[in-house]
Chains A and B, each alone.
Chain A
Amino acid sequence: MRYIEPHAHMVSRTMDDYLAMALAGCQVVCEPAFWAGFDRSSAQGFYDYFRQITEFEPKRAAKFNLKHYTWLCINPKEAEDTKLANEVLDLIPEFLEKPTVLGIGEIGLNKNSRNELKILEKHIDLAERHDQLILVHTPHLEDKLKGTKLIIDALANHSNLDPNRVIIDHVEEHTAPLVLDKGFWAGMTLYPESKATPNRAIDMLELYGSERIWMNSACDWGVSDPLAVPKTALEMKRRGYDDNFIDRIVYGNPATFMRQSGRFIP
């Protein structure tokens, strides 16, 4: 089996994880910019982080014959400090020239605050000006439904934005139809304690269809599983899905979306 891990925070993972992913059939890993688990104290910290995910991490992945791509932004968890966020936004265009950058992400909302919304708008503007794909993070748990609606409204304010070039991630049963009905792509995140389990993700494929949808582990420094995608593929096999269908979900769909960047070569 081959698969693409379209959302993983590999800076938080060990080489052992890269090895396990490669052995499980991973061909490509894609890394959206993320919150480090604590707030960075300056834009310089982000400059170093952007260098890490555009220069260092692709080399680490290459040791296991894995291609590594990335997305750039300041995560919504750090968007409440708008001065810092604006300084980081100013850094991003320089890094958009890097050959492994796929777009702007993971932007979005966390607690659905006014400042988070302002910085989200600026990220959308930046993506539009530089003709970039967008990867959106939706809030956690009780904040997800409201945040997803606010994000969809913010994206809808940009009438020139093609929803087919935007993926809204971490959907669950109550948000997937909102995202898909507006023409966006939807990402299902497979987490042990929140978001979706393998069986619920497969249920969502049955409920909402297999077009414009991918699944990812979003593995990071927290409780998460870098092998969540191949484990879900195995669960799909147990449920009776054939190899071609599984390949479309775990390889074809993410490749189709990310090829729109003009840089993604699976």
Chain B
Amino acid sequence: MSDHSPNLVDQGFLDARIKLLDVAAFLDRVQRHGLTDDFRVRALKEALLELPSDEPGRARRILEALSDPSEEPIPEATMQGAFGAYANSCKGDAV
């Protein structure tokens, strides 16, 4: 399958580093502006707890943690967008 085995840390470390810093700066920013109670910010901080895990499947578990856990269809679609994190009463701007 592969011609060669590149060093994936060489390839991806700086990209991962700047994304991590972006998350940290985002959390600083929303705290500075008094928005830490937003359900999306709370969900993001909870999801971050997956990162230090040594168990593979971090991306899958983060996606699951941010998902609607219910199983039945909702009675009616009252909006068309989504928020990126699940909450029973959403107040943010959907995308």
Q: How far is the CB of B34 from chain A (nearest CB, A)?
A: 24
Query: How far is A115 from B74 in the complex, measured between Cα atoms in Å?
Result: 9
Which residues from B are CB-within-8-Å of A117? 73
Query: How far is A47 from B85 in the complex, measured between Cα atoms in Å?
Result: 36
Q: How far is the CB of A150 from chain B (nearest CB, A)?
A: 6
B8 on the A face (CB < 8 A): yes
Interface of B is mostly: loop
Query: How far is A112 from B64 in the complex, measured between Cα atoms in Å?
Result: 17
Q: How far is the CB of B21 from chain A (nearest CB, A)?
A: 17
For A149, give the chain B residue with the smallest CB separation: B71
With A143-B68, A173-B60, A199-B12 as known contacts, state yes or no: A113 contacts B6, CB within 8 Å.
no
With A114-B76, A173-B59, A241-B2 as known contacts, state yes or no: A142 contacts B83, CB within 8 Å.
yes
Contact count band on A: 35 or more
Beta-carbon contact of B73 and A150 below 8 Å? yes
Query: How far is A140 from B75 in the complex, measured between Cα atoms in Å?
Result: 18
Instruction: Report the count of interface residues on B (CB-CB < 8 A).
Output: 35
How many residue pairs link A and B with beta carbons under 8 A? The number is: 98
B11 on the A face (CB < 8 A): yes
Interface centre among B1, B8, B12, B69 (most CB of A within 10 A): B1
Beta-carbon contact of B64 and A174 below 8 Å? yes
Query: How far is A193 from B66 in the complex, measured between Cα atoms in Å?
Result: 15
Beta-carbon contact of A140 and B6 below 8 Å? no
Beta-carbon contact of A142 and B12 below 8 Å? no
* CB contact between B74 and one of A35, A112, A238, A239 (< 8 Å): that residue: A112
Which residues from A are CB-within-8-Å of B54? none
With A142-B67, A145-B68 as known contacts, state yes or no: A111 contacts B75, CB within 8 Å.
no
A77 on the B face (CB < 8 A): yes
List chain B positions with a Cβ less than 8 A from chain A: 1-6, 8, 11-12, 57, 59-60, 63-64, 66-71, 73-86, 95
The 3 closest A-B pairs by CB, nearest first: A111-B77, A240-B2, A145-B67
